[in-house]
Amino acid sequence: MTDISTIPRPETHGQFMVAALYYFVAFPRFAEFREPLQTVCDENGVKGTLLLAHEGINGTIAGTDAGITAVLSYLRSQPEFSGLEHKESRASSMPFLRMKVRLKKEIVTMGVDNIDPNKIVGTYVDPKDWNALISDPETIVIDTRNNYETAIGIFKGAVDPQTKTFREFPDWVRNNAGLHNKPKIAMYCTGGIRCEKATAFMKEQGFDEVFHLKGGILKYLEEVPQEESLWEGACFVFDDRVSVTHGLEEGEHTLCHACRLPLTAADLASPHHEEGVSCIHCHEVRTDEDRERYRQRQRQIMLARKRGEKHLGS
């Protein structure tokens, strides 16, 4: 079992620890593991989302250092997850409202059968070696995330597939013959999990030299000094922090609670922005009925704030 007390912690601020994790492993007892895992998380005051499937575990959780340590120790006490690794960052406030352990068909949904990263996968590249790879003119760099994520940050020179969901990625690859124009393919995502399947898919499609960033953008932002970085912008995260930047510091983005897309300071200044109701991204697609319903929800959120509570719809 890994002694997590020996794992270096990022020097970021915030009383809550956020742990992102995933592990591909044959896990036929995933359904019966849901309830005991939920119990351990609840008993330790840990919140977030963990997905369980026949192929393993994936998710992000937050809590006190002691709470996260207890949950990770419990996971690593299971024979299937003894080799589980995680990535840490900090949050100034609890970034999740509740704890959810969910059963899924896939721990990351690409929708292609028989893709097993334990059997075939790309070559891992440590963050310290990533700049050299993506600066090589013989390399095509591909961002495997979705368009609302790439909108706020991307590696310099990367190709953005502009996918709305990860399910669209396989067809994007099949329809882009130009990906064969250079010998090397370098891929990246937020924490590494999408690239496990994306690189496996690329290898099965006949691409030979396929690489992916070990630990994803989060590990890169943690380890690579800002003055050496080729990352431009912020990295979208799936919790109330919305984004993180170099050193895994909390970013300045907020979230539109109508469409769940990240907003910049300029977006907030748009006449189309109404807190909790609409933003520059979704104003044109909302009906008057939608907006009135969101306004009613926003009024409840504001009342909860005045009481010092957090509304479940916020």
CA distances from 83 to 13, 67, 78, 141, 191 (A): 28, 20, 10, 29, 17
Active site residue 189: yes
20 close to 98: Cβ distance less than 8 angstroms: no
The one catalytic residue in 189, 235, 256, 282 is 189
Comparing CA positions, the residue from 243, 222, 250, 242 lying closest to residue 11 is 222
Residues labelled as active-site residues: 189
